[in-house]
A and B are shown apart, each in its own frame.
Chain A
Amino acid sequence: NAGVTQTPKFQVLKTGQSMTLQCAQDMNHEYMSWYRQDPGMGLRLIHYSVGAGITDQGEVPNGYNVSRSTTEDFPLRLLSAAPSQTSVYFCASTINRRNTEAFFGQGTRLTVV
């Protein structure tokens, strides 16, 4: 029962470096999304995908890229890391975009120095 798996769990980057946060789900869910969680704030939507080959921007997309080549995988790329991107990142999936029960990964805690 893997559900939604995120890697890595922790990462420290230097300003300007790039990296990819991995997300995979084994529930054959159509809808996948990336959120960031900052202290005192609710989760904010970065990017989402309604199916393989289809992605769209959320509330805070700047500085991030996504792609969805398969149903299972939805990686998030940081192009040139900035200290403002220090956050905890969560990947989530639902059966379809109509927000049935959402399943979350364990999160990636990213620090940009």
Chain B
Amino acid sequence: KQEVTQIPAALSVPEGENLVLNCSFTDSAIYNLQWFRQDPGKGLTSLLLIQSSQREQTSGRLNASLDKSSGRSTLYIAASQPGDSATYLCAVGSSNDYKLSFGAGTTVTVRA
């Protein structure tokens, strides 16, 4: 059974600092990995999708890397802003049954 872990559970940084969010998974037989943002009381918004054959994906200030062999993905957010405050979840798609396994998320607070 795929286990997905996100550490730390919470993070508080001053505005302008770069954010580094970690996601680790136990089974390297993955189809893809997706990073989501969740605002309080809201649904999940997809940020980046990395296919298993890719090493990284970029969108604006966001960059996600994937190392399948070590079971790790990292989401970098450059020059953080208060509007980046949210919970960030990673989800791993299995190449065996194509189901998504989610981490519990990292809650980020960016202080103005």
The listed residue (A33, A42, A101) touching B104 by CB distance below 8 A is: A42
Do A42 and B101 touch across chains, with their CB atoms under 8 A apart?
yes
Interface of chain B, helix or strand or loop or mixed? strand
Helix, strand, loop or mixed for chain A's interface? loop
- By the criterion CB–CB under 8 Å, are B99 and A102 in contact? no
Report chain B residues within 8 Å CB of A87: none
In the complex, how many residues of chain B place their beta carbon closer than 8 angstroms to a beta carbon of chain A? 24
**Contacts A45-B100, A97-B98, A99-B31: A104 and B105 contacting too (C-beta < 8 A)?**
no
Do B98 and A99 have beta carbons less than 8 Å apart?
yes
B102 close to A42 (CB less than 8 A) = yes
Are A102 and B91 touching (Cβ within 8 A)?
yes
Pick the contact of A99 from B32, B43, B44 — CB < 8 Å?
A: B32
What is the minimal beta-carbon distance from A101 to any residue of chain B, in angstroms? 5
Give the Cβ gap from B96 to chain A, nearest Cβ, in Å: 12
Instruction: Evaluate contact between A45 and B99: CB separation under 8 angstroms.
Output: yes
Chain B residues whose C-beta falls within 8 Å of the C-beta of A45 in the assembled complex: 99-100
Contact B104 A99 (CB under 8 A): no
Question: Which has the most chain B C-beta neighbours within 10 Å: A40, A43, A90, A104?
Answer: A43
Q: Check: A58 CB closer than 8 A to any chain B CB.
A: yes
Which residue from B34, B46, B103 sits with its C-beta under 8 Å from A42?
B103
Contact between chains at A43 and B98 (CB < 8 Å) = no
Task: Report how far A92 CA is from B44 CA in the complex, Å.
Answer: 9
A40: B residues at CB distance < 8 A: 9, 104
Within 8 A of B (CB), among A61-113: 90, 92, 97-107, 109
Candidates A42, A97, A106; contact of B43 at CB < 8 Å: A106
B77: interface (CB < 8 Å): no
User: What are 13 A-B contacts defined by CB distance under 8 Å?
Assistant: A42-B89, A42-B105, A43-B89, A48-B99, A58-B99, A98-B98, A99-B32, A100-B49, A101-B34, A102-B46, A104-B45, A106-B42, A109-B41
